[in-house]
Chain A
Amino acid sequence: MPLQIEEDHQRFRNIVRGKIRKDLRKFLSRGELLGREGKKYVSIPVHGIETPHFRYGDNNDAGVGSGEGKPGDKVGDDGEGMGPGGTQEGQHILEVDITLEELADILGEELELPRIEPKGKHNISSVKDRYSGIRPTGPESLRHFKRTFRRALRRQIMAGTYNPDSPRIIFERGDKVYRSWKTIKAPQSNAVIIYMMDVSGSMGDEQKELVRLEAFWIDAWLRRNYEGIESRFIVHDVRAGEVDRETFFHIREDGGTRISSAYRLAHELIDQNYNPEEWNIYLFHFSDGDNSSESDSRECCRLIKEQLVPGINMFGYCQVASAYGSGNFINSVHEHLGDDEAVITSRVNTKDDIYESIKTFFSPGR
Chain B
Amino acid sequence: MHRVLPKEIAEQAEIIADHARREGLDFYPTIFEMLSSEEISQVAAYGGFPKRYPHWRFGMQYEKLRKQHKYGLSKIYEMVINNDPCYAYLLSDNMMVDHKTVIAHVYGHCDFFKNNTWFSQTNRKMMDEMANHATRVRRYIDRYGIERVEKLIDTFIALENLIDPHSVFMKRDKPYVKPDPKAKPPDKSRRDEGEFERFPAKSYMDRYINPPERIAQDKAAGEEKAEKTKTSFPDKPVRDVLLFLLKYAPLEDWEADILGIIHKEAYYFAPQGQTKIMNEGWASYWHSTMMTNYILTDAELIDYCEHHSGTLASAPGQLNPYKMGIELLRDIEKRWNTGRYGPEYDRCEDMQERREWGKEKAPKGRVIGKDSPGRQKIYEVRTLYNDVTFLDEFLTPEFVDDQKLFHYRYDPATGKMVVVNRDFKKIKAQLLFMLTNHAQPYIYVLDGNYKNRGELYLGHRHDGADLDIKYAVETLKCLQAAWRRPVHIHALIDGEGILFSYDGEKSTQQRVDDTVPTPANAI
Q: With A56-B468, A87-B434 given, is the CB distance from A51 to B407 under 8 Å?
A: no
Contact across chains for A97 and B67 when beta carbons are under 8 A apart: yes
Q: How far is the CA of A12 from the CA of B63 in the complex (A)?
A: 9
Lowest 6 CB-CB distances: which A-B pairs, in order?
A61-B410, A12-B59, A8-B59, A52-B474, A9-B59, A84-B434
Pull 28 A–B residue pairs with CB atoms less than 8 Å apart, ordered by A: A3-B42, A8-B45, A8-B62, A10-B59, A11-B54, A52-B158, A52-B477, A53-B471, A55-B468, A55-B471, A56-B465, A56-B468, A61-B409, A61-B410, A62-B408, A62-B409, A65-B406, A65-B407, A72-B418, A74-B418, A75-B416, A75-B418, A80-B315, A81-B417, A92-B471, A154-B298, A154-B301, A158-B298
Which A residues form the contact surface with B (CB < 8 A)?
3-5, 7-13, 15, 49, 51-76, 78-88, 92, 97, 150, 153-154, 157-158
**B197 within 8 Å of A by Cβ?**
no
Task: Name the CB-closest residue of A to B489.
Answer: A54
Given the interface pairs A70-B419, A71-B419, A75-B418, the reply to whether A54 lies near B46 with Cβ below 8 Å is: no
- Among A11, A49, A88, A154, the most chain B Cβ lie within 10 Å of the Cβ of A11
Measured as residues with beta carbon below 8 angstroms from the partner, the interface class of chain B is 35 or more
Shortest Cβ distance from B404 into A: residue: A66
Which of B41, B467, B474 has the most chain A CB atoms closer than 10 A to its own CB? B474
A292 to B305, CA, bound (A): 73
What's the Cα separation between A107 and B265 when bound, in Å? 40
Complex interface residues of chain B between 424 and 450 (CB less than 8 A to chain A): 427, 430-431, 434-435, 439-441, 443
- Report how far A63 CA is from B433 CA in the complex, Å: 9
Q: A52-B474, A65-B405 are in contact. Are A3 and B39 (CB under 8 A)?
A: yes
Known: A8-B62, A74-B417, A97-B67. Contact between A81 and B408, CB under 8 A? yes
Structural contact, B405 and A81, CB atoms closer than 8 A: no
Proximity bits, B164-180, A CB within 8 Å = 1, else 0: 00000000000000000
A150 to B300, CA, bound (A): 11
Contact (Cβ within 8 A) A57 B469: yes
Give A87 Cβ to nearest chain B Cβ, in Å.
4
Q: Could you say which of B86-94, B113-121, B317-325 contacts chain A?
A: B317-325
Query: Which residues on A sit within 8 Å (CB–CB) of B42?
Result: 3-5
Q: How far is the CB of B272 from chain A (nearest CB, A)?
A: 13
Q: How far is the CB of B369 from chain A (nearest CB, A)?
A: 29
Return the CB mask of B139-181 against A: 1 if under 8 Å, else 0: 0000000100010001001111110000000000000000000
Instruction: Report the Cα distance A69→B406, complex, angstroms.
Output: 9
**Contact of A65 (CB < 8 Å), options: B160, B408, B414, B435:** B408
Report the separation of the CA atoms of residues A53 and B404 in the bound assembly, to the nearest whole angstrom: 34
Contact present for A74 and B406 (CB under 8 Å): no
In the assembled complex, B351 has its CB within 8 A of some CB on chain A: no
Give the residues from 456 to 505 in chain B that come closer than 8 angstroms, CB to CB, to chain A: 460, 465-472, 474-475, 477-478, 489
CB distance from A57 to the nearest CB of B (A): 4
Give the complex CA separation of A85 and B276 in angstroms.
Answer: 11
Partner of B441, one of A10, A54, A75: A54
Additional pairs, 10, CB under 8 Å, beyond known A74-B416, A81-B318, A83-B319: A5-B62, A7-B59, A8-B54, A8-B57, A52-B158, A52-B471, A53-B160, A54-B467, A55-B471, A80-B315
- Chain A residues with CB under 8 Å of B159's CB are 53
Residues of B within 8 A of A83 (CB): 317-319, 434
- Contact: A5 with B58, CB < 8 Å? yes
Q: Is A57 within 8 A of B320, CB to CB?
A: no
- Whole-angstrom distance from the CB of B102 to the nearest CB of chain A? 20
CA distance A236 to B155 in the complex (A): 57
Q: How far is the CA of A83 from the CA of B435 in the complex (A)?
A: 11
Flag if B410 contacts A62 (CB, 8 Å).
Answer: yes
CA distance A58 to B471 in the complex (A): 11
Question: In the complex, which of the residues A49, A57, A72 contacts B465, with contact meaning CB atoms closer than 8 Å?
Answer: A57
Residues of A within 8 A of B58 (CB): 5, 8
Cβ–Cβ contact B403 & A66, under 8 A:
yes
Decide yes or no whether B299 CB sits under 8 A from chain A: yes
Q: Does B69 contact A (CB under 8 A)?
A: no
Q: Chain A nearest CB: distance from B180 CB in Å?
A: 42
B51 close to A (CB within 8 Å): yes
**Closest CB-CB distance, A27 to chain B, in whole Å?**
20
- Beta-carbon contact of A63 and B417 below 8 Å: yes
A63 touches B319 (CB 8 A): yes
Any A CB within 8 A of the CB of B302: yes
A34 to B441, CA, bound (A): 37
